[in-house]
Amino acid sequence: MSDNQSKDKKEILEHIHSIFQAFLRQDRQALTETHAQNWIGFLGPSTRIEKGLDKYMANAEKSLQNFKGVGYEILENEIQIYGDIAIVYYVARYDYEDISGLAHSLPLRSIDIYRRDKAGWIQAGSHISVIPTTGEWGEGDKK
């Protein structure tokens, strides 16, 4: 791997950390700045393709109103870079308190699409979902 690719991977991973940190701070402006205006993808409850930053932020707003983030950890990641496009796979744990103050953790998996713009790497698309922990799809994930 070239030094440039190592630098790019580090910048992209730092960007992902900044998104999690923005959720923890409930910083709506930072969330807006970390996603492309023409962002596209799937969010946890999506049943259709979500298009545009407004759709992303509407979903983020629901999360910010219902969950108070208290911590997170990126457990595993893989970043593949193809010129000015990067595909990022990661598994994370997001810790939060619900509106009644009870503590919870969400196991998450995501595929993010990043593109390099003049200002640097930005998230242009994503498919993030909660990892099932029981049932047909969750059994293989238990260790």
Render pLDDT for 85-138 as a digit per residue (tens, 0 to 9).
999 999 999 999 988 889 999 999 999 999 999 999 999 999 999 998 875 544
Residue 67 has what pLDDT? Answer: 84
Residue 137 has what pLDDT? Answer: 46
Q: Which residue has the higher pLDDT, 31 or 3?
A: 31
Q: How many domains does the chain have?
A: 1
Range of 76's domain? 3-129
Residue 135 has what pLDDT? Answer: 55
Per the domain annotation, does 140 fall within a domain? no
Per the domain annotation, does 73 fall within a domain? yes
Per the domain annotation, does 139 fall within a domain? no
Long-range contact list for 92-96, CB < 8 A, 24+ apart?
Answer: 92/20, 94/20, 94/23, 94/69, 95/69, 95/70, 95/71, 96/67, 96/68, 96/69, 96/70
Tokens linked to 67: 């969950």
Per the domain annotation, does 10 fall within a domain? yes
Q: Which residue has the higher pLDDT, 143 or 4?
A: 4
For the full predicted model, state whether its pTM sits above 0.75: yes
* CATH number for the domain harbouring residue 92: 3.10.450.50
pLDDT tops 90 at residue 139:
no
CA–CA separation, 68 and 24 (whole Å): 7
Whole-angstrom distance between the N-terminal and C-terminal Cα of the chain? 31
